Structure 1
């Protein structure tokens, strides 16, 4: 079974990750929309539209969505609404966009101005949240608010660089607790203990997707671009030579229990490939992204059983039972084939290989 057939199988058999509005579905929706833009094939657009038809009412209400949760993850699935508003001009999409923007307007923040990850995680910034919110926030500002919020977006990225980046490795820790109250946080720095692969992937995608939106209209975009390039360079030092993948705990290599993880690898691959396409990275970096995608396909894509393997199902910090951010914690979480965080990243990364190959007739066939 070729990659396209694998993708079509999962689109045709798609079931919502949860009954309520959720970010996991949004990963697949974004990937499908990327494929539509890369291929022009309407089946991908139709898939996203079917989902939205089931989820967004005619008056713009989002089914099973609670703004008062102030969960930054809930912004993610709204990214696809912009395209559908532009394509259809249907007001229900604009109204749903406004609902999610209203959440951002009222979302709790740290004293330094960063969005809390969730109301249940006060004073905390996780790398995940930058991907969930910033590209949506930037797109809204560009289309509907004369880019007035770009400065706020910029400041939140700068705060993350200042607070969460590790000076020695150039990598970023999974989370930061401004209050230093959580057991997982370093009492001096507020930082969690480790560099989680998917958190790095979320961060890379947040940077490249936001840059794509703001670059032409924002003078400080170059500073965000610098963070992006430096982050990719830091990650390349830890790319596995044999598989071209990244590990679940990025800097721990072959330490007992660590494993080459699919979702984080594909997110980073997407970021590199897109970064090259948009001119943020030199052309020779494309090989690093393509090899990461190809290495993941070779190691973990089981086309006989329609499975994408090697995906960490979930990982977080705090809550009940308590997640302490230790190495042992990250390697203990279940590996879940076809989890939507990995599947969505697969669609996104594959779409970037196609976007490149469209312009390069002599490129190798990546659909095998």
Structure 2
């Protein structure tokens, strides 16, 4: 796709100006346009097991823009790209047994867009979207579990990651309840709460209030705590996935699910408070390894930081935080962090597109899970894990009129 300056409407005046001087720029739509022009978030089947999450996260960011700016001049192109991304994934997600074995739980991040398209206007791809949505839902039942019933994140026996809850909980809630009561609703809500509670119990640190990356139910992994099975470090992006999952799932629950809603909100408030305590006072961002602030080799990481901005500001906007004081603190921290991310990691390239830096590549517990491992993983330029998170963060700031 070529950059269409005419279609770029409200951003036209900014393309030849210094980004820091463009007071009226909407960073959300500009970054989204940049992702599209790079052709990101399209599944090819050749990009490894992280491809489904890159596509699903791209769909989430663009759908957020369409919700906020349905009449934007670029809205038709954003809508077409969501369709293109979802279609690229749907063709690979038609066999539930294969899906549950071949892909991490991240595969479910595509479920909400695919489900929406299966229920939307009828096209020649509607049947494929309907089949893919059903296969993704069935793959939840087929996902392998540890002895306590917790979902394996991927192929690693008995290992559960925080990351998986971002893709599981919102899709399962939307697919099964559709925002209202039905016969399958109670089962889905019980499963969502059970999975979130289980991983929270095993990864929660009482002193900091933060959650480590994951746990091994067998307690045999080289990194596993012999009592809890927990991994040793709080990886910012994994915690970012989890806290976004809480906010997004509460939003999708039916009004009658008061018990489940309050249960998830308690966890969200506890985590939001802990995340606010963990903010770096010098920059306003959050560390790659959050339980080792300032340690040699550690750094402020751009994807996890953007996820925290999104989750904190959305929770404040939706009235999910327990009091006005915490909501005000979340808004102040979120706006400040977004400013830091924009000033530090966002740049305009020679084509007029926005680039996003400072995002760590995939960090897996299929490693030593040591401090040196996490801080030694390479930083990726224009990773969708960072740029899509930045779009969601920017949308929340823009809702505040900042």
Say yes or no: TM over 0.5.
yes
Higher relative contact order (Cα pairs below 8 Å, separated by 6+ residues): 1
Give the 5 Å matches for 1:1-368: 1=15, 2=25, 3=27, 4-16=29-41, 19-20=44-45, 22-40=52-70, 41-56=75-90, 61=94, 66-69=99-102, 71-88=104-121, 90-118=126-154, 120-143=155-178, 146-148=184-186, 149-214=188-253, 216-218=255-257, 219-281=259-321, 282=324, 283-284=327-328, 285-304=330-349, 306-318=354-366, 323-354=367-398, 356-357=399-400, 363-364=401-402
Query: Could you tell which deviates more after superposition, 142-151 or 166-175?
Result: 142-151
Q: Does the 8 Å CA contact 1:243/1:296 hold for their aligned counterparts?
A: no
Shift of the 60–254 alpha-carbon distance from structure 1 to 2, 3 Å rule, reads: closer
Query: Could you tell which deviates more after superposition, 124-133 or 208-217?
Result: 208-217
Give 4+ residue runs of structure 1 displaced > 6 Å after superposition: none
CA deviation string 1:68-110 (max 9, x = no partner): 3262121112221122233325343222110101110111112
> RMSD over aligned Cα, in angstroms?
2.2
SS for the counterpart of 1:217 is coil
Shift of the 235–55 alpha-carbon distance from structure 1 to 2, 3 Å rule, reads: closer
Shift of the 60–337 alpha-carbon distance from structure 1 to 2, 3 Å rule, reads: closer
Shift of the 156–67 alpha-carbon distance from structure 1 to 2, 3 Å rule, reads: closer
Q: Does the 8 Å CA contact 1:78/1:136 hold for their aligned counterparts?
A: yes
- 1:14 Cα deviation (Å)? 1.4
2 CA distance for matches of 1:258 and 1:56? 38
CA deviation string 1:259-304 (max 9, x = no partner): 1000000111110111112110244122222222221111111123
Shift of the 145–278 alpha-carbon distance from structure 1 to 2, 3 Å rule, reads: farther
2 CA distance for matches of 1:99 and 1:297? 39
Shift of the 157–66 alpha-carbon distance from structure 1 to 2, 3 Å rule, reads: closer
1 CA distance for matches of 2:103 and 2:378? 27
Shift of the 315–272 alpha-carbon distance from structure 1 to 2, 3 Å rule, reads: same
Q: Does the 8 Å CA contact 2:90/2:114 hold for their aligned counterparts?
A: no
Shift of the 220–10 alpha-carbon distance from structure 1 to 2, 3 Å rule, reads: closer
SS for the counterpart of 1:275 is helix
CA deviation string 1:296-322 (max 9, x = no partner): 11111112363211100110112xxxx
- 1:24 Cα deviation (Å)? 1.5
CA deviation string 1:134-179 (max 9, x = no partner): 1111111112754131011111111122211001110001010000
1 CA distance for matches of 2:318 and 2:40? 33
Q: Does the 8 Å CA contact 1:266/1:346 hold for their aligned counterparts?
A: yes
- 1:351 Cα deviation (Å)? 2.2
- The alignment covers a number of residue pairs equal to 351
Q: Does the 8 Å CA contact 2:310/2:392 hold for their aligned counterparts?
A: yes
Q: Does the 8 Å CA contact 1:270/1:349 hold for their aligned counterparts?
A: yes
The answer for unaligned runs of 5 or more in structure 2 is 1-14, 16-24, 46-50
1 CA distance for matches of 2:31 and 2:193? 38
SS for the counterpart of 1:109 is coil
